[in-house]
Structure 1
Amino acid sequence: MVLDTEETETERHGNFLVAGVAHRGTDVDEAALWASLDDYADDLEDAAISDDYYAVMYDVDTDSGEFTYVAGREVDSADDLSPELTAVEIPQATYAVLRPDYETVDEMVVQIHEEELDSRDDGDGVHSPIFERYGADSDPTTVADREIYVPVRDE
Protein backbone atom coordinates (compact mmCIF):
# COMPACT_ATOMS: atom_id res chain seq x y z
CA MET A 1 0.00 0.00 0.00
CA VAL A 2 1.36 3.40 -0.98
CA LEU A 3 -0.47 5.48 1.61
CA ASP A 4 -1.20 4.40 5.16
CA THR A 5 -2.57 7.49 6.88
CA GLU A 6 -2.17 5.93 10.33
CA GLU A 7 1.59 5.57 9.78
CA THR A 8 2.20 8.50 7.44
CA GLU A 9 3.15 12.02 8.48
CA THR A 10 0.55 14.61 7.47
CA GLU A 11 0.85 18.37 7.05
CA ARG A 12 -1.59 21.16 6.31
CA HIS A 13 -0.59 22.93 3.06
CA GLY A 14 -2.06 24.69 0.13
CA ASN A 15 -3.68 27.83 -1.06
CA PHE A 16 -0.78 28.70 -3.35
CA LEU A 17 -0.06 28.91 -7.07
CA VAL A 18 2.61 27.01 -9.01
CA ALA A 19 3.57 28.14 -12.52
CA GLY A 20 5.86 26.31 -14.89
CA VAL A 21 6.23 24.09 -17.93
CA ALA A 22 3.69 21.31 -18.43
CA HIS A 23 3.56 17.90 -20.02
CA ARG A 24 0.42 15.84 -20.65
CA GLY A 25 0.72 12.13 -21.28
CA THR A 26 1.30 8.73 -19.75
CA ASP A 27 4.99 9.21 -19.08
CA VAL A 28 7.26 12.14 -18.30
CA ASP A 29 10.85 12.77 -19.31
CA GLU A 30 11.54 14.57 -16.04
CA ALA A 31 15.08 15.63 -16.90
CA ALA A 32 13.97 17.21 -20.18
CA LEU A 33 10.98 18.93 -18.60
CA TRP A 34 13.03 20.37 -15.74
CA ALA A 35 15.70 21.47 -18.23
CA SER A 36 13.05 23.25 -20.31
CA LEU A 37 12.18 25.31 -17.24
CA ASP A 38 15.51 27.08 -17.78
CA ASP A 39 13.99 28.75 -20.87
CA TYR A 40 11.69 30.66 -18.50
CA ALA A 41 14.14 31.17 -15.61
CA ASP A 42 14.14 34.97 -15.76
CA ASP A 43 10.36 35.15 -16.06
CA LEU A 44 9.84 32.81 -13.12
CA GLU A 45 12.61 34.26 -10.98
CA ASP A 46 10.91 37.66 -11.05
CA ALA A 47 7.55 36.16 -10.06
CA ALA A 48 8.73 33.48 -7.59
CA ILE A 49 8.05 34.04 -3.91
CA SER A 50 10.57 31.46 -2.64
CA ASP A 51 13.61 29.50 -3.77
CA ASP A 52 11.66 26.22 -3.76
CA TYR A 53 10.69 24.29 -6.88
CA TYR A 54 7.52 22.26 -7.30
CA ALA A 55 6.25 19.45 -9.46
CA VAL A 56 2.47 19.16 -9.65
CA MET A 57 0.58 16.12 -10.94
CA TYR A 58 -3.12 16.49 -11.67
CA ASP A 59 -5.95 15.71 -14.07
CA VAL A 60 -5.32 11.95 -14.00
CA ASP A 61 -7.42 10.02 -16.53
CA THR A 62 -7.91 6.57 -15.02
CA ASP A 63 -8.94 5.05 -18.35
CA SER A 64 -5.96 6.19 -20.42
CA GLY A 65 -3.41 6.66 -17.62
CA GLU A 66 -2.70 10.20 -18.86
CA PHE A 67 -1.95 12.98 -16.39
CA THR A 68 -0.60 16.52 -16.45
CA TYR A 69 2.79 17.22 -14.84
CA VAL A 70 3.97 20.79 -14.22
CA ALA A 71 7.54 21.61 -13.19
CA GLY A 72 7.76 25.12 -11.77
CA ARG A 73 7.93 27.66 -8.98
CA GLU A 74 5.49 29.12 -6.48
CA VAL A 75 4.26 32.53 -7.66
CA ASP A 76 1.85 35.20 -6.39
CA SER A 77 0.22 35.57 -9.78
CA ALA A 78 0.60 34.17 -13.28
CA ASP A 79 -0.80 37.32 -14.92
CA ASP A 80 2.54 38.65 -16.17
CA LEU A 81 4.12 35.30 -17.05
CA SER A 82 4.73 33.89 -20.51
CA PRO A 83 1.57 32.35 -22.02
CA GLU A 84 3.52 29.13 -22.61
CA LEU A 85 3.61 28.54 -18.85
CA THR A 86 0.86 26.65 -17.01
CA ALA A 87 -0.41 27.75 -13.60
CA VAL A 88 -1.95 25.33 -11.11
CA GLU A 89 -3.70 26.28 -7.88
CA ILE A 90 -2.83 24.04 -4.93
CA PRO A 91 -5.88 24.01 -2.63
CA GLN A 92 -5.65 24.20 1.14
CA ALA A 93 -5.82 20.62 2.44
CA THR A 94 -4.21 18.06 4.66
CA TYR A 95 -1.53 16.20 2.73
CA ALA A 96 0.19 12.92 3.51
CA VAL A 97 3.95 13.33 3.07
CA LEU A 98 5.42 10.36 1.20
CA ARG A 99 9.01 9.51 0.40
CA PRO A 100 8.60 6.64 -2.08
CA ASP A 101 11.29 4.99 -4.18
CA TYR A 102 9.66 5.25 -7.60
CA GLU A 103 11.94 5.37 -10.62
CA THR A 104 9.53 7.47 -12.68
CA VAL A 105 6.80 10.03 -12.05
CA ASP A 106 4.28 8.12 -14.17
CA GLU A 107 4.78 4.97 -12.09
CA MET A 108 4.25 6.96 -8.90
CA VAL A 109 1.18 8.88 -10.10
CA VAL A 110 -0.60 5.79 -11.41
CA GLN A 111 0.15 3.75 -8.27
CA ILE A 112 -0.96 6.46 -5.83
CA HIS A 113 -4.03 7.26 -7.90
CA GLU A 114 -5.13 3.64 -8.28
CA GLU A 115 -4.59 2.68 -4.66
CA GLU A 116 -5.64 5.76 -2.80
CA LEU A 117 -7.29 8.53 -4.73
CA ASP A 118 -10.09 6.71 -6.55
CA SER A 119 -12.19 6.92 -3.40
CA ARG A 120 -11.08 10.48 -2.53
CA ASP A 121 -12.41 13.26 -4.67
CA ASP A 122 -13.71 16.77 -4.19
CA GLY A 123 -17.34 15.67 -4.48
CA ASP A 124 -17.58 16.31 -8.22
CA GLY A 125 -15.20 13.57 -9.36
CA VAL A 126 -12.17 15.90 -9.39
CA HIS A 127 -9.06 14.99 -7.42
CA SER A 128 -6.85 17.57 -5.77
CA PRO A 129 -3.35 17.81 -7.21
CA ILE A 130 -0.45 15.76 -5.90
CA PHE A 131 2.71 17.85 -5.55
CA GLU A 132 6.40 17.55 -4.80
CA ARG A 133 8.46 20.31 -3.18
CA TYR A 134 12.21 20.72 -3.71
CA GLY A 135 14.61 23.10 -2.04
CA ALA A 136 16.80 25.26 -4.29
CA ASP A 137 19.74 22.85 -3.86
CA SER A 138 17.75 19.66 -4.58
CA ASP A 139 17.75 17.74 -7.84
CA PRO A 140 14.11 17.11 -8.83
CA THR A 141 15.12 14.32 -11.22
CA THR A 142 16.55 12.01 -8.55
CA VAL A 143 14.54 9.51 -6.56
CA ALA A 144 16.48 10.31 -3.38
CA ASP A 145 15.13 13.86 -3.20
CA ARG A 146 11.44 12.98 -3.67
CA GLU A 147 8.97 14.20 -1.09
CA ILE A 148 5.40 13.85 -2.34
CA TYR A 149 2.33 15.53 -0.89
CA VAL A 150 -0.88 13.56 -1.45
CA PRO A 151 -4.20 15.10 -0.37
CA VAL A 152 -6.13 13.16 2.25
CA ARG A 153 -9.69 13.80 3.27
CA ASP A 154 -9.96 15.67 6.55
CA GLU A 155 -12.08 13.83 9.10
Structure 2
Amino acid sequence: MVLDTEEPETERHGNFTVAGVAHRGTDVDEAALWDSIDDYADHLDDAAVDTDRYAVMFDVDADSGEFTYVVGREVEDTDELSAELTAVEIPQATYAALHPEYESVEEMVLEVHEEVLDGDDRGDDVHAPVFERYESDRDPTTTADREIYVPVRDDEY
Protein backbone atom coordinates (compact mmCIF):
# COMPACT_ATOMS: atom_id res chain seq x y z
CA MET A 1 0.00 0.00 0.00
CA VAL A 2 1.38 3.39 -0.97
CA LEU A 3 -1.06 5.37 1.13
CA ASP A 4 -0.88 5.65 4.88
CA THR A 5 -4.53 5.35 5.87
CA GLU A 6 -3.97 4.49 9.53
CA GLU A 7 -5.83 7.14 11.51
CA PRO A 8 -5.44 9.96 8.99
CA GLU A 9 -6.07 13.56 9.87
CA THR A 10 -9.43 14.73 8.59
CA GLU A 11 -10.44 18.21 7.50
CA ARG A 12 -13.57 19.88 6.14
CA HIS A 13 -12.99 21.25 2.65
CA GLY A 14 -15.01 22.07 -0.35
CA ASN A 15 -17.46 24.42 -1.93
CA PHE A 16 -15.00 25.58 -4.53
CA THR A 17 -14.29 25.13 -8.24
CA VAL A 18 -11.04 24.11 -9.88
CA ALA A 19 -10.57 25.02 -13.55
CA GLY A 20 -7.73 23.76 -15.68
CA VAL A 21 -6.44 21.33 -18.26
CA ALA A 22 -7.95 17.83 -18.25
CA HIS A 23 -6.66 14.42 -19.27
CA ARG A 24 -8.79 11.29 -19.53
CA GLY A 25 -7.10 7.92 -19.69
CA THR A 26 -4.88 5.55 -17.76
CA ASP A 27 -1.51 7.22 -18.27
CA VAL A 28 -0.83 10.79 -17.11
CA ASP A 29 2.22 12.86 -18.09
CA GLU A 30 2.03 15.25 -15.15
CA ALA A 31 4.87 17.48 -16.32
CA ALA A 32 3.26 17.95 -19.74
CA LEU A 33 -0.12 18.75 -18.18
CA TRP A 34 1.35 21.30 -15.79
CA ASP A 35 3.33 22.83 -18.68
CA SER A 36 0.21 23.02 -20.84
CA ILE A 37 -1.59 25.08 -18.23
CA ASP A 38 0.83 27.92 -19.01
CA ASP A 39 -1.08 28.38 -22.29
CA TYR A 40 -4.06 29.50 -20.21
CA ALA A 41 -2.18 31.47 -17.56
CA ASP A 42 -3.77 34.81 -18.44
CA HIS A 43 -7.31 33.42 -18.18
CA LEU A 44 -6.61 31.53 -14.98
CA ASP A 45 -4.64 34.33 -13.30
CA ASP A 46 -7.57 36.71 -13.80
CA ALA A 47 -10.14 34.22 -12.49
CA ALA A 48 -8.06 32.57 -9.74
CA VAL A 49 -8.91 33.03 -6.08
CA ASP A 50 -5.26 32.70 -5.02
CA THR A 51 -1.94 31.25 -6.22
CA ASP A 52 -2.49 27.68 -4.99
CA ARG A 53 -2.66 24.97 -7.64
CA TYR A 54 -4.75 21.80 -7.61
CA ALA A 55 -4.82 18.38 -9.23
CA VAL A 56 -8.25 16.73 -9.16
CA MET A 57 -8.89 13.05 -9.83
CA PHE A 58 -12.39 11.72 -10.48
CA ASP A 59 -14.60 9.52 -12.66
CA VAL A 60 -12.53 6.36 -12.22
CA ASP A 61 -13.67 3.44 -14.36
CA ALA A 62 -12.85 0.32 -12.34
CA ASP A 63 -13.01 -1.93 -15.41
CA SER A 64 -10.72 0.01 -17.74
CA GLY A 65 -8.66 1.88 -15.13
CA GLU A 66 -9.38 5.17 -16.91
CA PHE A 67 -9.89 8.32 -14.87
CA THR A 68 -10.08 12.07 -15.38
CA TYR A 69 -7.22 14.20 -14.04
CA VAL A 70 -7.46 18.00 -14.05
CA VAL A 71 -4.60 20.35 -13.14
CA GLY A 72 -5.49 23.95 -12.45
CA ARG A 73 -6.41 26.68 -10.03
CA GLU A 74 -9.34 27.52 -7.80
CA VAL A 75 -11.57 30.01 -9.58
CA GLU A 76 -14.46 32.15 -8.43
CA ASP A 77 -16.24 32.14 -11.77
CA THR A 78 -15.89 30.13 -14.99
CA ASP A 79 -17.86 32.45 -17.29
CA GLU A 80 -14.83 34.16 -18.85
CA LEU A 81 -12.61 31.07 -19.10
CA SER A 82 -11.62 29.37 -22.34
CA ALA A 83 -13.97 26.59 -23.44
CA GLU A 84 -10.90 24.34 -23.64
CA LEU A 85 -10.59 24.37 -19.84
CA THR A 86 -12.45 21.91 -17.62
CA ALA A 87 -14.15 23.02 -14.40
CA VAL A 88 -14.62 20.63 -11.48
CA GLU A 89 -16.78 21.34 -8.45
CA ILE A 90 -15.27 20.26 -5.14
CA PRO A 91 -18.24 19.81 -2.78
CA GLN A 92 -18.14 20.50 0.93
CA ALA A 93 -17.12 17.23 2.61
CA THR A 94 -14.84 15.70 5.19
CA TYR A 95 -11.56 14.64 3.62
CA ALA A 96 -8.79 12.42 4.96
CA ALA A 97 -5.41 14.08 4.41
CA LEU A 98 -3.07 11.33 3.17
CA HIS A 99 0.63 11.40 2.39
CA PRO A 100 1.28 9.12 -0.58
CA GLU A 101 4.49 7.35 -1.50
CA TYR A 102 3.74 6.61 -5.15
CA GLU A 103 5.69 6.88 -8.37
CA SER A 104 2.82 7.82 -10.68
CA VAL A 105 -0.62 9.39 -10.63
CA GLU A 106 -2.06 6.18 -12.07
CA GLU A 107 -0.74 4.13 -9.15
CA MET A 108 -2.16 6.56 -6.62
CA VAL A 109 -5.59 6.97 -8.28
CA LEU A 110 -6.12 3.24 -8.63
CA GLU A 111 -5.09 2.56 -5.06
CA VAL A 112 -7.34 5.28 -3.66
CA HIS A 113 -10.23 3.98 -5.73
CA GLU A 114 -9.70 0.29 -5.00
CA GLU A 115 -8.41 0.24 -1.43
CA VAL A 116 -9.60 3.43 0.23
CA LEU A 117 -12.98 4.16 -1.35
CA ASP A 118 -14.21 0.70 -2.36
CA GLY A 119 -12.33 -1.21 0.32
CA ASP A 120 -14.65 -0.20 3.11
CA ASP A 121 -17.78 0.83 1.23
CA ARG A 122 -16.96 4.56 1.44
CA GLY A 123 -17.23 4.70 -2.34
CA ASP A 124 -20.95 3.99 -2.07
CA ASP A 125 -21.57 6.98 0.19
CA VAL A 126 -19.02 9.56 -0.97
CA HIS A 127 -19.16 11.20 -4.36
CA ALA A 128 -16.60 13.99 -4.03
CA PRO A 129 -13.44 13.88 -6.14
CA VAL A 130 -9.98 13.27 -4.73
CA PHE A 131 -7.69 16.29 -4.93
CA GLU A 132 -4.15 17.48 -4.28
CA ARG A 133 -3.33 21.07 -3.28
CA TYR A 134 0.00 22.73 -3.98
CA GLU A 135 1.05 26.04 -2.55
CA SER A 136 2.62 28.29 -5.20
CA ASP A 137 6.17 27.58 -4.00
CA ARG A 138 5.83 23.78 -4.40
CA ASP A 139 6.55 21.85 -7.58
CA PRO A 140 3.50 19.69 -8.41
CA THR A 141 5.55 17.37 -10.64
CA THR A 142 7.73 15.96 -7.86
CA THR A 143 6.64 13.02 -5.71
CA ALA A 144 8.11 14.46 -2.52
CA ASP A 145 5.90 16.08 0.09
CA ARG A 146 2.56 15.38 -1.60
CA GLU A 147 -0.68 15.54 0.27
CA ILE A 148 -3.95 14.29 -1.14
CA TYR A 149 -7.45 14.79 0.14
CA VAL A 150 -9.74 11.77 -0.07
CA PRO A 151 -13.44 12.19 0.77
CA VAL A 152 -14.70 10.15 3.72
CA ARG A 153 -18.04 9.75 5.42
CA ASP A 154 -18.43 12.03 8.40
CA ASP A 155 -19.17 9.09 10.68
CA GLU A 156 -15.89 7.36 9.73
CA TYR A 157 -13.69 9.64 11.85
After TM superposition, give the deviation of residue 101 of structure 1 in Å: 1.1
What residue number does 1:9 align with?
A: 9
What residue number does 1:109 align with?
A: 109
Aligned-pair RMSD on alpha carbons? 1.4
2:123 alignment partner, SS class: coil
After TM superposition, give the deviation of residue 17 of structure 1 in Å: 0.2
What residue number does 1:58 align with?
A: 58
After TM superposition, give the deviation of residue 127 of structure 1 in Å: 3.1
1:93-151 deviations in Å (ceiling 9; x for gaps) = 0100011111111100001110011222365xx73200000000110000113110000
1:112, 1:101 → 2: CA distance?
A: 12
1:43-94 deviations in Å (ceiling 9; x for gaps) = 0000000110000000000000000000000001111100000000001001
What residue number does 1:29 align with?
A: 29
Where does the alignment leave 5 or more consecutive residues of structure 2 unmatched? none
What residue number does 2:140 align with?
A: 140
2:48, 2:72 → 1: CA distance?
A: 9
What residue number does 2:45 align with?
A: 45
Where does the alignment leave 5 or more consecutive residues of structure 1 unmatched? none
Structure 2 residue identity aligned to 1:146: R
Give the length in aligned residue pairs.
Answer: 152
Q: Using structure 2 for the length normalisation, give the TM-score.
A: 0.92
1:102, 1:113 → 2: CA distance?
A: 14
1:42, 1:91 → 2: CA distance?
A: 26
Structure 2 residue identity aligned to 1:34: W
Residues 58 and 127 of structure 1 are in contact (CA less than 8 Å); yes or no, is this contact kept in structure 2?
no
1:51, 1:4 → 2: CA distance?
A: 29
Q: Using structure 1 for the length normalisation, give the TM-score.
A: 0.93
Residues 4 and 100 of structure 2 are in contact (CA less than 8 Å); yes or no, is this contact kept in structure 1?
no
